[in-house]
Amino acid sequence: MRKAAIVYYSYTNNTKKIAEMIQHKMGGDLFEIKTVTPYTGSYNEVVEQGQKEINEGFKPPIQPMNIQLEQYDTIILGTPVWWYTLTPAVRTFLSGTDLTGKRIIPFATNAGWLGHTFQDIRKLCPDSEVVKERNIEFSEDTLKTSGKDIENWIEGMLK
């Protein structure tokens, strides 16, 4: 496998931790998706704002990422689950980036309600090969999915 790009968005760092675990185990380049306007306010306020954005299909502007896509044939894509789907910032990234012909390995961190996250990612990347998706559960900031399962999944990516 050629070098992979690990692209992720993370609001409370769970997804970031998994992205870093992947990089530590198999190498690759890390790219964080950041919104131009950060989410502010209490957690519950962000949960409410997130609901509104998901319902409206809002795509928040994201900061330039300077990712040279031609260097990668595989994109490992990490998103938290917000209201049963991918986060608005990851939607912006997928809508604005041509991933034709790329292999996409998505993972989603969540608190137990994955919803239709992977189906929605597939719809946004009709010209990519979306494979080996992985649901990773946390309880607040404690990892619930077994570390061994995650390691096996990461090792399986190299095959």
Ligand X SMILES: Cc1cc2nc3c(=O)[nH]c(=O)nc-3n(C[C@H](O)[C@H](O)[C@H](O)COP(=O)(O)O)c2cc1C
80 near ligand X, judged by CB under 6 A:
yes
Q: What six digits make up the tokens of 134?
A: 């992985």
Q: By C-alpha distance, which of 63, 66, 81 is closest to 29? A: 66
Out of 5, 138, 154, 157, point to the residue binding ligand X (CB under 6 A). 138
- Closest to ligand X by CB, 73 vs 153, is 153
117 near ligand X, judged by CB under 6 A:
no
Compute the residue count for the chain. 159
- Closest to ligand X by CB, 81 vs 94, is 81
Out of 5, 104, 106, 109, point to the residue binding ligand X (CB under 6 A). 109
The number of residues that bind ligand X (CB under 6 A) is 22
Least CB distance to ligand X at residue 58 (A)? 12
Half-sphere CA count of 28, side-chain side, radius 13 A: 27
Interface positions with ligand X (CB under 6 A): 10-16, 46-47, 50, 80-84, 109-113, 115, 138
